[in-house]
Each structure stands twice: as structure tokens, then as C-alpha cells.
Amino acid sequence: MLSHTEENYIKCIYQLSENELTKQVSTNEIADNLETTPASVSDMLKKLTQKNLINYIKYKGVTLSEQGITEALKIIRKHRLWEVFLVKHLNFAWDEVHEVAEQLEHIKSVLLIQRLDEFLDFPKFDPHGDPIPSQDGTIPIVQQIPISEVNIGDHGTVTGVNDASKALLQYLDKVGIQLNSTIEIIDIISFDQSVEIKIDHQKTLFISQEIAKNIYITTI
């Protein structure tokens, strides 16, 4: 049985190597991400090695073991199911759910999560467009691409954000971009790579390259 803290470390390592699970994650990356010190991370990596959750070579970084990946997916599944519950049933805004889900993800009860999943009607994506792993660890894959990497004239629908921070989400609310909004790329400004987009066939808007990197769309 993993402790609250161990679970947070495992999830963190997963997320830092999400695109390439063979990537060696560094001690400092983990420390930054969990807002703790490298020394604490080193200690914890020893413990997680003992529990066969990670492959760890001193000074060389860390990857999750098979078992570690399984555990990570369980926690992420719980986190995202709770997020769906909070938004769909308790009227939380998509920028308000993270801290609470960060706690709820640690509740231990297999039955609870099965029933919650059923209650929510087996959702495939969370309120930020992130895929919800199934009970057996399968992750739905979406063909999506950041707005910063599409061409003028392309169009699609918003299927996710790269970063679920309050700052980004509240900005998106402000300008009227949400999941499933349609986006058309009107122009890309060569000076700073900012992008002019049309939202839901209505208003047009300039977004910085930084923002463009953080909005994923599925092109049609």
C-alpha cells in the first residue's frame, strides 16, 4: 500500500515522462515539480526503489517500473474521474478542481471508483480534455496538436490544454475558449509567432505563441 506522499511522487514521475516513458527523469525536475528539495527526492527515490516502483541509477535519473506505471495510472484515473464529478455535478469551474482532486485521488476504495465511474457514465476525458485511464490501464488516445503548430486556414475543435493552471484556464474563460470550441487559424504573425484565430465562427482574437502552444486542437 502506497502512502499519500509516495503516490504523489509516482504520479509526478509519470507526468514528467508522460510523452516518453523511457525518459530518465532528474532529481531536480521532481523537486521543482513537487516543490520540495533535491535531498528529499533522493531519499524518496531510494524508498521507491525498494518497493520496485522505479528503476533508479544514482546520478543518472529515474524511470517508472511496470508496477510504477500501473500505480501512476490508477492515481491519474481517480484524479480525473473526481474532476469530472466536481465539474459536471457540483458546478465547479474547470480552474477550481485541481486542488480538491489532488486530495481526492488518494482515497482508497476500489468499489468507490468503480461506482463513481458508473455514476459519471464512464467518461473518457476530464474537464481539461485529458484522457481518463480505464480500470485496466488503457488510455484513450486523441490525435491533437497545439495551435502553435498548425497552418493558416486550418481549423479544428479544442480537445485539450497543455497546462491546467488557473492562470491559463481563467484566461481561456475570459476570451470564450472552452473544450469543443471550434477554432480557425486566420493568420500567424511572423514577428512574434502570435496567432489570429476565429472562435466558434464568431469573434476573432490574437493569442500569443505561448498561449498557442498550450491549446490543443483536433483538426478536421
Q: Which stretches of the chain bind DNA, using CB under 7 A?
A: 3-6, 26-29, 36-47, 56, 58-59, 61
91 contacts a copy of itself (rule: CB under 8 A): yes
Q: Which does 128 bind (CB under 5 to 8 A by kind): a copy of itself, DNA, Mn ion, none?
A: Mn ion
Number of residues that bind a copy of itself (CB under 8 A): 18
What residue type is assigned to position 2 of the chain?
L
Q: Which does 135 bind (CB under 5 to 8 A by kind): Mn ion, a copy of itself, DNA, none?
A: none
Q: Which residues contact 9 (CB under 8 A, 6 or more apart)?
A: 30, 34, 41, 44, 48
All cell numbers assigned to 135: 480500470
Q: Which does 36 bind (CB under 5 to 8 A by kind): Mn ion, a copy of itself, DNA, none?
A: DNA
Q: Which of 66, 102, 149, 192 binds Mn ion (CB under 5 A)?
A: 102
How far is the C-alpha of 88 from the C-alpha of 164, rounded, in Å?
17
71 contacts Mn ion (rule: CB under 5 A): no
Residue 2 Cβ vs DNA, minimum distance, rounded to whole Å:
8
Q: Which of 29, 71, 96, 126 binds Mn ion (CB under 5 A)?
A: 126
Q: Which does 156 bind (CB under 5 to 8 A by kind): Mn ion, DNA, a copy of itself, none?
A: none
- Tell me which residues touch a copy of itself (CB under 8 A): 86, 89-92, 96, 99-100, 103-104, 107-109, 111-112, 115-116, 119
